[in-house]
């Protein structure tokens, strides 16, 4: 070895000189001691919850105090957490640099007189001046409660719903627009939810990858690749145990890179693939028939009415009917239960999945199972192959593998807002998962501890005819949605008689014979019309003139950006306030910016459940450091806004008492004490205090003990998931929150919407086919023009959705390192060559449907289908005050996507067009 040289240290010298038997190369001398560990005694640890995605990982925060200044130095996963098992992702690790981001808002800002919305021209003011400004504007413009709209982002939804919804009701503001409803929670998830009874599948189902033998991910990179840490740590076990992983995705995503098989499906054809899979499984018996008979409504009897619609056969009391296996005797089943094993008379019953030659009240009836088969009888693998480009033999094989390997997981999937038929695709996915019996089952989908906990309470109250208190905290699944929808959609709930403008607009559209949205919950459909004065309610204009934006960035992550800029700049818009941490692309369009603290500076005003963890536990945040700046907490801001809008802050306490567990009197007392002590954010502190009391009581312990455990471990464990399954598993132990209590293949929810007059394939009570409409008048398998592409987009592992954490210096550095990969437009080299586009070339993209254009840079890769373009949606930031995000390049996807929605929940159809590209 040329670089090795015998080292003549004193020790070696003697050794060498005393008999050199072969001049073997002596090891270099090593020093004895390791470098000293960093001064651990100055380090402190506290616990918190990460703020950068829905995994809600529990984190351990290390702080260090030097020269009297305490700083956060490191974040790690909380090793005591069974949710993320001591791990966090790149965003989690970098999170402390958001707190120390030099671009943060440090004090309240008011728009400079004479400047326009769109210009980032603000002047620093005191809180007093900011509130006075808001109060004056509110009064001067006489903004009515229904003319306010709250716009919430994910943070405000997850953590501050218990204030936002009471705020809305206390101030009689019926309007909330919140992401990610139209993006995923309402769209795709709603499809799954309609079968399982969940409200928000990816916050309520944590698939048990640990024990799964087969994992099928369709159009889903978010679970693994984007990263949902609580899922990935379990997926890692699956990989280690040799589970087979199949990823169906037009591009070679991070997930597909880990899969044994990457099926490069044509974008927009997931439904065809899924239906073919479903058909194969139903036709060939790849299902757990005992499970299906017992716990689903597949045995229910249905008939086709004169219009060809499937209707449930019901007795006089509206109870469902089923046929007995073998005898074909028709019996009545309980309307609400988890099991079909007893009829309404309590007799044992073994329902048939398939019944031939049945007649009921003169009509031919079949089972839902048979109806479903009939509904998709044309959805063969050969048919699917044509559109998806996945070979029929592969589809058959996957169906066989999935259907006969147990336990198996078809991962529920996330971003539903790509096509109008994704909701249906997710329904079909849920059906496929159900066919395997993999609902609330080891190795299958497992409901969260919180869901089980709420469900137990709900079912108990239902069985005893009791009213549940604190509906926001106690209603599980779809029941929660129902409550929220009922609250906001009915004008009679408000003294002013206005429902949310979304509902008013839907009614207006419906009356005019125009396309209308059946469940415009928390959506932006109709907002523009309201702002422009084109919406009428009971003959009068229903205007929207004021916005309160909390932790949301709609200019960047709603569609399109021009649409939102127009709305916010409209002369009818009197006042826009936002509560924000960093300058986003939305902040240039507001009038007042209120600085928010970051999560590490905050002791939460509430004790929360442990996210999607299958184990039941509670957790909260302890502030690691004092707030760096003159920032505010959301509850206190909402309280002050209540005072300004309604003049009666006590209404907020009352609304909270009605909806959450916090008793108004106790909260008010605590608030008074906090105020007298001169504490900042007194309302937030008061709520935390009472929350601790209420939670400790529920847990059967003391506040001191609860605090102690949370300080020492970060989580207070309540129950293990296996134990929860034994008592609250759905549907094996308890009915789920669907209207029938069973897992619903025939969807009562869509039946309900149908009864309200919603028609069309989106509202099919069964799984049915309708294509994505990416081509104006062609089917997807017809050739594209030479410069025409299908379009898909997705997340990076480093940036949360369209958020401002692209500005985090650590994140920005990683993104810069991989800049081409992350900010480029992915194009297959074959297509690029035909267009003479080389790697790195500047290109212009044009939406063939809307004419919208955007700029980009070509990234040539074979990791994308030749007929498709892919863009990471984390970039294209326009606000130069976000100094590290700005100038990163990339293409803002919402510059290319028009505002087109599907009719169920106004879910965005953000990929239903083609793009043309050209060299710039």
Partner 1 sequence: MQHYAMVINLNACVGCNACMAACAMENQTPVWSNKWRTYVHDIELTVGDSARRRFFPRLCNHCDNPPCMSVCPTGATRKLDNGIVFVDDATCMGCEACALACPYDARYTFEYRDVAAGKKFFGELIHRESPSMDKCSFCAHRVAAGQNPACVQTCVTSARIFGDLNDPNDYVARLVTSGVAKPLLPHLGTRPNVFYIGEINLG
Partner 2 sequence: MYYTTQHYWTWWLALYLFLGGMGAASVAISCLTDMYLKPHPQLVLWGNLSGFMMLNIGSSMLFLHLLHHLAVINVLVPTVLLNKPDAWIAWGTQFIVWMMLLSLLYALPYMRASAFFQKLPIVNKILECKLIAWLDAQITKVQRIIGWLATLSSIGTVIYTGLLLQSFPAVALWNNPGVPILFSISAFSTALAFLLLALYLAIKDDQDHQLIALFERADLILVGLEIVVIFVFFQYTTTSSESARHSAHLLWNDNGWLIGFLTLGLIVPFLLELKGVIHGWKGHAPIIIAALLVLNGGYLLRYYFMNAGVYGMPYPPHAYSVYRAPEQGINQMTIIIPEENPQVINGTSDDLVN
Site residues (CB under 8 A) for partner 2, limited to 791-850: 817, 819-821, 829, 838-839
CB of 388 to partner 1, least distance (A): 18
Which of these, 752, 745, 597, 743, lies nearest to 684 by C-alpha position? 597
Residue with smaller CB distance to partner 2, 673 or 839: 839
Q: Give the strand pairing for 575-580 and 546-550.
A: parallel
CA distances from 335 to 332, 358, 460, 479, 620 (A): 9, 21, 17, 17, 40
Q: Among partner 2, partner 1, none, what does residue 278 contact (CB within 5–8 Å per kind)?
A: none
Q: Among partner 1, partner 2, none, what does residue 820 contact (CB within 5–8 Å per kind)?
A: partner 2
CB of 200 to partner 2, least distance (A): 37
Report DSSP letters for 428-476, one per residue: HHHHHHHHTT-BSSTTSB-B-HHHHHHHHHHHHHHHTTPPPSSHHHH--
365 DSSP β-pair partners: 358
Residue with smaller CB distance to partner 1, 762 or 857: 857
R_g over Cα of the chain: 29
Q: Among partner 1, partner 2, none, what does residue 859 contact (CB within 5–8 Å per kind)?
A: partner 2
Q: Among partner 1, partner 2, none, what does residue 21 contact (CB within 5–8 Å per kind)?
A: none
Q: Among partner 2, partner 1, none, what does residue 839 contact (CB within 5–8 Å per kind)?
A: partner 2
Residue with smaller CB distance to partner 2, 2 or 40: 2
CA distances from 156 to 111, 143, 565, 673, 910 (A): 24, 24, 22, 26, 24
Q: Among partner 1, partner 2, none, what does residue 659 contact (CB within 5–8 Å per kind)?
A: none
Chain position carrying tokens 């040329």 = 2
Residue with smaller CB distance to partner 2, 748 or 863: 863
Q: Among partner 2, partner 1, none, what does residue 239 contact (CB within 5–8 Å per kind)?
A: partner 1
Which of these, 642, 602, 904, 599, lies nearest to 750 by C-alpha position? 904
CB of 250 to partner 2, least distance (A): 19
Residue with smaller CB distance to partner 2, 112 or 817: 817
Residue with smaller CB distance to partner 1, 31 or 676: 31
Coil vs helix vs strand at 226: coil
Q: Among partner 1, partner 2, none, what does residue 484 contact (CB within 5–8 Å per kind)?
A: none
Residue with smaller CB distance to partner 1, 582 or 730: 582
Q: Among partner 1, partner 2, none, what does residue 698 contact (CB within 5–8 Å per kind)?
A: none
Question: How far apart (Å, rounded) are the C-alpha atoms in residues 180 and 187?
Answer: 9
CB of 6 to partner 2, least distance (A): 8
In the set 4, 393, 844, 920, which binds partner 2 (CB under 8 A)?
4
Element (H, E) at 810: helix 809-817
Q: Among partner 2, partner 1, none, what does residue 797 contact (CB within 5–8 Å per kind)?
A: partner 1
In the set 355, 860, 871, 901, which binds partner 2 (CB under 8 A)?
860
Two tokens at 41?
A: 């005694």
Query: Which range binds partner 2 by CB under 8 A, 220-228, 534-542, 620-628, 855-863?
Result: 855-863
CB of 839 to partner 2, least distance (A): 5
Q: Among partner 2, partner 1, none, what does residue 90 contact (CB within 5–8 Å per kind)?
A: partner 1
Residue with smaller CB distance to partner 2, 4 or 665: 4
Strands in 759-897 per DSSP E: 788-794, 825-827, 842-847, 853-860, 868-872
Q: Among partner 2, partner 1, none, what does residue 32 contact (CB within 5–8 Å per kind)?
A: partner 1
Residue with smaller CB distance to partner 2, 820 or 878: 820
In the set 711, 722, 862, 919, which binds partner 2 (CB under 8 A)?
862
> Any residues with CB less than 8 A from the CB of 485 and at least 6 apart, and which?
519, 521
CB of 27 to partner 2, least distance (A): 11
Asked whether the beta carbons of 152 and 384 are under 8 A apart, the reply is: no
Question: How far apart (Å, rounded) are the C-alpha atoms in residues 465 and 198?
Answer: 22
In the set 7, 468, 485, 835, which binds partner 2 (CB under 8 A)?
7
Two tokens at 826?
A: 């992915």
> Any residues with CB less than 8 A from the CB of 441 and at least 6 apart, and which?
208, 407, 725, 729, 732
Q: Among partner 1, partner 2, none, what does residue 227 contact (CB within 5–8 Å per kind)?
A: partner 1
Q: Among partner 2, partner 1, none, what does residue 225 contact (CB within 5–8 Å per kind)?
A: partner 1
Query: Which range binds partner 2 by CB under 8 A, 5-13, 254-262, 753-761, 847-855?
Result: 5-13
> Any residues with CB less than 8 A from the CB of 889 and at least 6 apart, and which?
819, 823, 857, 875, 876
- For position 16 contacting partner 2 by CB under 8 A, the verdict is no
CB of 233 to partner 1, least distance (A): 6
Two tokens at 691?
A: 């929350």
Which of these, 255, 271, 231, lies nearest to 84 by C-alpha position? 231
N-term to C-term CA, the chain: 55
**Binders of partner 2: how many residues, by CB under 8 A?**
20
CB of 824 to partner 2, least distance (A): 10
Which of these, 574, 519, 517, lies nearest to 543 by C-alpha position? 574
Residue with smaller CB distance to partner 2, 218 or 888: 888
Element (H, E) at 214: strand 214-218
In the set 148, 503, 859, 908, which binds partner 2 (CB under 8 A)?
859
CB of 860 to partner 2, least distance (A): 5
Question: How far apart (Å, rounded) are the C-alpha atoms in residues 267 and 262?
Answer: 14
Coil vs helix vs strand at 35: coil
Question: How far apart (Å, rounded) are the C-alpha atoms in residues 797 and 795?
Answer: 7
Q: Among partner 2, partner 1, none, what does residue 8 contact (CB within 5–8 Å per kind)?
A: partner 2
CA distances from 549 to 137, 580, 581, 866 (A): 16, 8, 12, 40
Q: Among partner 1, partner 2, none, what does residue 36 contact (CB within 5–8 Å per kind)?
A: partner 1
- For position 1 contacting partner 2 by CB under 8 A, the verdict is yes
Task: Pick out residues in 18-37 that bind partner 2 (CB under 8 A).
Answer: 28
CB of 5 to partner 2, least distance (A): 3
Residue 887: burial class (beta carbons within 10 Å; 0-12, 13-18, 19+): exposed
Residue with smaller CB distance to partner 1, 3 or 10: 3
Question: How far apart (Å, rounded) are the C-alpha atoms in residues 353 and 601?
Answer: 57
Query: Which range binds partner 2 by CB under 8 A, 4-12, 31-39, 604-612, 687-695?
Result: 4-12
Two tokens at 320?
A: 């469902």
**Cβ neighbours around 913 below 10 Å, total:** 21
Residue with smaller CB distance to partner 1, 12 or 289: 12
- For position 260 contacting partner 2 by CB under 8 A, the verdict is no
In the set 3, 17, 33, 647, which binds partner 2 (CB under 8 A)?
3
Question: How far apart (Å, rounded) are the C-alpha atoms in residues 168 and 829?
Answer: 52
Residue with smaller CB distance to partner 2, 28 or 118: 28
CB of 2 to partner 2, least distance (A): 6
Asked whether the beta carbons of 46 and 61 are under 8 A apart, the reply is: yes
Residue with smaller CB distance to partner 1, 521 or 810: 810
Q: Among partner 2, partner 1, none, what does residue 76 contact (CB within 5–8 Å per kind)?
A: partner 1
What residue ranges bind partner 2 (CB under 8 A)?
1-5, 7-9, 28, 817, 819-821, 829, 838-839, 859-862
């Amino acid at each position: 070895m040329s670089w090795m040289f015998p080292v003549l240290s004193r020790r070696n010298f003697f050794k060498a000189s005393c008999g050199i038997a072969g001049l073997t190369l002596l090891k270099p001398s090593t020093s004895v001691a390791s470098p000293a560990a960093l001064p651990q005694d100055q380090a402190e640890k506290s616990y918190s919850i990460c703020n950068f995605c829905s995994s809600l990982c529990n984190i351990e925060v290390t702080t260090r105090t030097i020269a009297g200044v305490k700083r956060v130095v490191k974040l790690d996963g909380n090793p005591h957490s069974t949710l993320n098992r001591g791990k966090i992702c790149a965003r989690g690790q970098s999170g402390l640099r958001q707190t120390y981001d030099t671009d943060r808002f440090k004090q309240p800002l008011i728009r400079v007189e004479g400047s326009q919305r769109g210009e980032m021209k603000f002047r620093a003011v005191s809180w007093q001046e900011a509130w006075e400004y808001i109060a004056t504007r509110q009064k001067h413009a006489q903004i009515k409660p229904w003319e306010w709209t709250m716009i919430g982002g994910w943070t405000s939804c997850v953590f501050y719903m218990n204030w936002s919804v009471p705020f809305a009701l206390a101030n009689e503001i019926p309007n909330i627009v919140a992401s990610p409803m139209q993006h995923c929670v309402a769209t795709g998830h709603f499809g799954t939810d309609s079968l399982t009874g969940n409200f928000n599948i990816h916050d309520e189902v944590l698939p048990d990858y640990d024990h799964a033998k087969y994992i099928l991910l369709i159009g889903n990179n978010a679970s693994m690749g984007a990263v949902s840490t609580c899922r990935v740590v379990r997926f890692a076990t699956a990989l280690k145990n040799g589970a087979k992983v199949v990823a169906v995705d037009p591009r070679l995503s991070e997930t597909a890179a880990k899969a044994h098989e990457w099926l490069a499906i044509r974008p927009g054809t997931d439904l065809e693939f899924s239906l073919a899979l479903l058909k194969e499984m139903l036709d060939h018996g790849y299902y757990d028939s005992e499970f299906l008979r017992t716990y689903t409504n597949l045995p229910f009897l249905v008939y086709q009415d004169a219009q060809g619609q499937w209707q449930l056969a019901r007795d006089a009391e509206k109870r469902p009917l089923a046929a007995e296996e073998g005898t074909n005797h028709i019996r009545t089943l309980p309307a609400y239960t988890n099991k079909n094993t007893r009829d309404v008379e309590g007799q044992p019953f073994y329902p048939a999945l398939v019944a031939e030659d049945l007649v009921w009240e003169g009509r031919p009836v079949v089972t839902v199972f048979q109806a479903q088969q009939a509904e998709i009888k044309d959805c063969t693998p050969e048919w699917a192959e044509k559109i998806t480009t996945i070979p029929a033999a592969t589809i058959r094989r996957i169906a066989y593998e999935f259907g006969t390997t147990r336990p198996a997981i078809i991962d529920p999937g996330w971003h539903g807002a790509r096509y109008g038929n994704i909701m249906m695709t997710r329904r079909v996915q849920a059906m496929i998962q159900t066919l395997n019996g993999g609902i609330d089952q080891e190795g299958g989908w497992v409901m969260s501890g919180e869901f089980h906990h709420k469900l137990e309470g709900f079912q108990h109250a239902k069985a005893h005819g009791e009213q549940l208190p604190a509906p926001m905290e106690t209603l599980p699944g779809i029941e929660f949605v129902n409550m929220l929808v009922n609250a906001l959609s009915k004008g009679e709930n408000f003294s002013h008689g206005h429902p949310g403008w979304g509902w008013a607009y839907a009614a207006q559209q419906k009356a005019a014979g125009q396309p209308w949205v059946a469940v415009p919950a928390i959506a932006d459909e109709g907002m523009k019309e309201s702002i422009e004065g084109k919406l009428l309610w009971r003959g009068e204009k229903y205007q929207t003139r004021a916005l309160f934006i909390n932790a949301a960035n709609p200019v960047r992550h709603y569609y399109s950006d021009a649409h939102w800029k127009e709305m916010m700049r409209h002369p009818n818009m009197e006042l826009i306030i936002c509560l924000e941490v960093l300058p986003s692309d939305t902040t240039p369009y507001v009038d007042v910016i209120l600085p928010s603290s970051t999560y590490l500076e905050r002791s939460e005003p509430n004790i929360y459940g442990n996210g999607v963890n299958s184990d039941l536990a509670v957790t909260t945040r302890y502030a690691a450091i004092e707030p760096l700046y003159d920032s505010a907490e959301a509850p206190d801001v909402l309280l002050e806004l209540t005072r300004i809008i309604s003049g009666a802050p006590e209404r907020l306490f009352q609304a909270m008492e009605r909806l959450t567990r916090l008793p108004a009197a106790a909260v008010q007392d605590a608030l008074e004490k906090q105020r007298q002590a001169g504490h900042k954010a007194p309302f937030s502190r008061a709520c935390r205090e009472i929350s601790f009391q209420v939670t400790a009581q529920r847990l059967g312990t003391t506040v001191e003990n609860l605090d102690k455990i949370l300080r020492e471990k970060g989580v207070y464990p309540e129950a293990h998931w296996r134990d929860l399954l034994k008592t609250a598993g759905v549907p094996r132990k308890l009915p789920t929150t669907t209207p029938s209590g069973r897992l619903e293949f025939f969807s009562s929810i869509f039946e309900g919407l149908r009864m309200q007059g919603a028609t069309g394939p989106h509202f099919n009570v069964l799984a049915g086919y309708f294509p994505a409409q990416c081509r104006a008048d062609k089917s997807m398998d017809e050739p594209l023009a030479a410069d025409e592409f299908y379009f898909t987009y997705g997340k990076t592992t480093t940036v949360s959705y369209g958020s401002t954490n692209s500005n985090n210096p650590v994140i920005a550095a990683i993104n810069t390192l991989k800049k081409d990969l992350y900010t480029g437009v992915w194009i297959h080299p074959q297509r690029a060559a035909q267009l003479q586009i080389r790697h790195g070339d500047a290109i212009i993209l044009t939406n063939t449907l809307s004419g919208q254009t955007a700029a980009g840079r070509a990234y040539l890769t074979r990791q994308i289908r030749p007929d498709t373009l892919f863009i990471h949606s984390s970039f294209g930031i326009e606000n130069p005050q976000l100094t590290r995000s700005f100038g990163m390049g990339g293409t803002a996807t919402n510059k290319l996507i028009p505002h087109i929605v599907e009719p169920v929940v106004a879910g965005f159809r953000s990929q239903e067009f083609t793009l043309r590209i050209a060299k710039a």
